[in-house]
A and B are shown apart, each in its own frame.
Chain A
C-alpha cells in the first residue's frame, strides 16, 4: 500500500517538473480574460448597491409618500403616528442643529491641529499623533455614547448650563429651558470628537498637496511661517478644506447611536443649544420595535431613512468629487 502511494507521489512530482503542468499561453490568456470579466462584474456592484439601497427604501416608503406627498412630510410639524400625523420637521431640524453645533465645535480645533501637523510638526509628533487618531476613529459609537453619559451630560448640566444661564441667558440661543444636561450641546460635543479624526486626516492630506515650491517662495521673501500659511497654503487648500468639512458634516448628520444616547429625544423644534432634540437617525432607531402595529408607521420610518440617504448622498458626492480632484494633484 505504502509502495503504491510513494510511486504515485513520485509520478506526480515528476509530472510537475515537466512542461505538462505549465498552463499553456492560450489557457493563461483565457484565464486572464475570464478574470477581467468576473472582476468587472464585481466592480459594478458598489454602484449597483447605492441604487438598490435607494430603490428598496423608496419602494418601502412609497405608501406614505403617495398618500401624504413629500412636502407635507418634510415640513409637517406634528409627529403623532397614532393619529396618522407624520411630520418630519422637528426631527430634520434636530439633526441639523446637532450637526451644526458639532461642526462648529470641531472644525476650528481640527483645522488648527491639521495645519500644525502638516506645516509645523516634527515627523516624530506626526508619528505619535497617527495612532491617537486611529484609535479615536476606531472607538465604537456606543462607547462615545457611554462617554457622553458619564462625562459630557453631567458636564453640560453642572458646568456649562449654569455658566451660560448666568452670563448669556438673555440670548435665546443659550437659554436653559430644561436643565437636564441631555440635549443638543451634549450631542454636539460628542459628535465633535467623533468626526475629529476624519477632518484632521483629510485636511492634512489636502495641505500636503500644496506644492512646496510655493511655500519656499513665500518664505524666501521673508514671510513668517504663519504668513505663508495664511496667504499661500490656505487659499490653495480652500476647496479641499471645504470638502473635508462637508464630508464630516454628512458623517455627523447620519450618526445614530452616540447622539441618540445623549440628545434627549424630545420631538420639539429646538430654539436653544440646551434644548433636547430628536434627530432623524434616532427616530428610526428608537421606533423600529413598534412600527409594525400602526398603519404606515414602517413606511414613515423608512421614508425617514430615505430622506437621510438623499441628504447624505448629495453631501457626499459633492465633497468626494472635490476631494478626488484636489488629492489627484499630488
Chain B
C-alpha cells in the first residue's frame, strides 16, 4: 500500500504500528496469565498428588500431615454441583423458553433479562449469607440440602442467561414455520426451540455446573464440612473448593502442599467439564437443522 502510493511515512503510520504492537502485547499478557496460572498450579500440585488423595477420606491426623485423602470433598462437591444444577435447570429451562417464545424483545422480557443479569452479578458470598439467614430462621443446620439450594441460586442466573443467548440467536424461520402450521407457542417451545437449541442448552447447563463445583463462598456457610462421605441430604458435606481453602490455610507445610494438589484436582475437573461441554455441544449440533 505504502509503496504503491509513494507516500511520505508520517507520524501517524508509526503510531499505527506502535499502538498495534501494544495491543498485541496486551492480548499476549492476558493469554499468558492463563498459562502462568495453569503452570503454577500444575508444578506445585503435581508433586504431592497421590492416588490416596483421590481414593481415601481423611484419616486421623490428616490435617497434621498424616495419611488420607479428600474423596469426601470430591464426592461432596459432585453431589452439591449436580443437585444445584438440576434444581437450577427446573427454573432456567422454562424461563429461557418463555423469554423466546412468549416474550421476545418485549418490555417485560427486557425486565426479566435485567433481573437475571443483576442476579448474576450478586456475589456468591451474599447468596451464602442469604442461605445462612434462611437457615437461621428455619432452625436448620448446615447440610447438603442447604448447600444444593444455595448453589442453585448461584447457578440459575448464569444458566438462564447462557441459554437465553443461544435461544435468542435461533433463526426466526423455524419458529414461524411451526406457528404457520398451526402449532401453539407451547408446542413451538417444546418441540422446535428446545430441540433446535439443544447443543447450546447443554453448554449452558455444563457451564453452570462448572461454576457451581468451583464456588466456595456460597457453600462455606450452608454446606458445612465433614470428614465422612455424605450419606443423607440433611447431613453436612465437604466440598472441593473448601478442601483447598482450608488446607491452604493450615500451618503445616505438608497439609498446604496437599491443598495445592487439591487445587490441581479441582482445576482438572473444571477444565474437563469445560472441554467436555464443547465436545458434547459439537456432537449434538449434528442433530439440529442448519
**Residues on A close to B: CB < 8 A?**
28-29, 31-32, 35-36, 38-40, 42-43, 45-47, 49-50, 53, 56-57, 59-60, 108-110, 112-113, 115-117, 120-121, 129, 131-136, 138-147, 149-151, 193, 196, 200, 224-227, 247, 250-251, 253-257, 261, 281, 284-285, 288, 298, 301-302, 305, 308-309, 312-313, 315-317, 320-321, 324, 328
B64 within 8 Å of A (CB atoms)? no
CA distance A309 to B127 in the complex (A): 10
- When C-beta atoms are compared, the residue in chain B nearest to A151 turns out to be B40
Distance in angstroms from B279 CB to nearest chain A CB is 12
The reply to whether A135 and B271 form a contact with Cβ atoms under 8 Å apart is yes
Distance in angstroms from A140 CB to nearest chain B CB is 2
The reply to whether A226 and B12 form a contact with Cβ atoms under 8 Å apart is yes
22 sampled A-B residue pairs with Cβ under 8 A = A36-B186, A42-B98, A49-B119, A53-B127, A113-B27, A116-B20, A121-B27, A133-B30, A135-B274, A138-B207, A138-B211, A142-B245, A143-B214, A146-B263, A150-B40, A151-B36, A193-B30, A255-B123, A257-B245, A281-B123, A308-B126, A317-B114
Distance in angstroms from B126 CB to nearest chain A CB is 5
Contacts of B271 in A (CB 8 A): 135, 138
Q: Which one of B99, B108, B128, B214 contacts A139 once the chains associate, using CB atoms below 8 Å? A: B214
CA distance A57 to B153 in the complex (A): 15
Q: Which one of B22, B217, B267 contacts A143 once the chains associate, using CB atoms below 8 Å? A: B267
Contacts of A253 in B (CB 8 A): 123
B1-30 contact mask (Cβ, 8 Å, vs A): 1 or 0 = 000000000001101100110111011011
- When C-beta atoms are compared, the residue in chain B nearest to A60 turns out to be B133
Q: Which one of A43, A47, A257 contacts B99 once the chains associate, using CB atoms below 8 Å? A: A43
Interface-lining segment among B53-61, B89-97, B193-201? B89-97
Distance in angstroms from A197 CB to nearest chain B CB is 8
- When C-beta atoms are compared, the residue in chain B nearest to A54 turns out to be B130
Q: With A134-B274, A193-B37, A254-B126 in contact, is A247–B121 under 8 Å at CB?
A: yes
Q: How large is the interface on B (under 10, 10 to 19, 20 to 34, 35 or more residues)?
A: 35 or more
**Residues on B close to A: CB < 8 A?**
12-13, 15-16, 19-20, 22-24, 26-27, 29-31, 33-34, 36-37, 40-41, 44, 91, 94-95, 97-99, 102-103, 105, 108, 110-119, 121-130, 132-134, 136-137, 153, 157, 160, 184-187, 189, 207, 210-211, 213-217, 220-221, 241, 244-245, 248-249, 259-260, 263, 266-267, 270-271, 273-274, 278
Distance in angstroms from A101 CB to nearest chain B CB is 16
Q: With A57-B130, A138-B211 in contact, is A143–B20 under 8 Å at CB?
A: no
The reply to whether B102 and A36 form a contact with Cβ atoms under 8 Å apart is yes
The reply to whether B95 and A56 form a contact with Cβ atoms under 8 Å apart is no
- When C-beta atoms are compared, the residue in chain A nearest to B211 turns out to be A138
Most chain B Cβ neighbours within 10 Å, of A131, A141, A298: A141
The reply to whether B44 and A196 form a contact with Cβ atoms under 8 Å apart is no
Contacts of A298 in B (CB 8 A): 136
Q: Which one of B20, B34, B126 contacts A132 once the chains associate, using CB atoms below 8 Å? A: B34
Q: With A43-B95, A254-B126, A257-B241 in contact, is A142–B114 under 8 Å at CB?
A: no
Distance in angstroms from B156 CB to nearest chain A CB is 8
- When C-beta atoms are compared, the residue in chain B nearest to A36 turns out to be B102
* Nearest 6 Cβ contacts at the A-B interface: A140-B214, A254-B123, A116-B23, A32-B184, A305-B129, A39-B98
Contacts of B270 in A (CB 8 A): 138-140, 143
The reply to whether A254 and B125 form a contact with Cβ atoms under 8 Å apart is yes
CA distance A48 to B241 in the complex (A): 29
- When C-beta atoms are compared, the residue in chain A nearest to B113 turns out to be A324
Contacts of B121 in A (CB 8 A): 247, 250-251, 254, 312, 315-316, 320
The reply to whether A28 and B19 form a contact with Cβ atoms under 8 Å apart is no
The reply to whether A256 and B123 form a contact with Cβ atoms under 8 Å apart is yes
Contacts of B160 in A (CB 8 A): 46
The reply to whether B216 and A257 form a contact with Cβ atoms under 8 Å apart is yes
Q: Which one of A31, A108, A315, A320 contacts B186 once the chains associate, using CB atoms below 8 Å? A: A31
CA distance A109 to B121 in the complex (A): 22
The reply to whether B157 and A288 form a contact with Cβ atoms under 8 Å apart is no
Q: Which one of A29, A145, A251 contacts B184 once the chains associate, using CB atoms below 8 Å? A: A29
CA distance A147 to B248 in the complex (A): 11
Q: With A53-B127, A57-B129 in contact, is A149–B274 under 8 Å at CB?
A: no
The reply to whether B122 and A312 form a contact with Cβ atoms under 8 Å apart is yes
The reply to whether A139 and B37 form a contact with Cβ atoms under 8 Å apart is yes
- When C-beta atoms are compared, the residue in chain A nearest to B33 turns out to be A193
Distance in angstroms from A220 CB to nearest chain B CB is 14
CA distance A43 to B119 in the complex (A): 13
Q: Which one of A113, A141, A196, A302 contacts B129 once the chains associate, using CB atoms below 8 Å? A: A302
The reply to whether B244 and A146 form a contact with Cβ atoms under 8 Å apart is yes
Contacts of B24 in A (CB 8 A): 116
CA distance A256 to B266 in the complex (A): 18
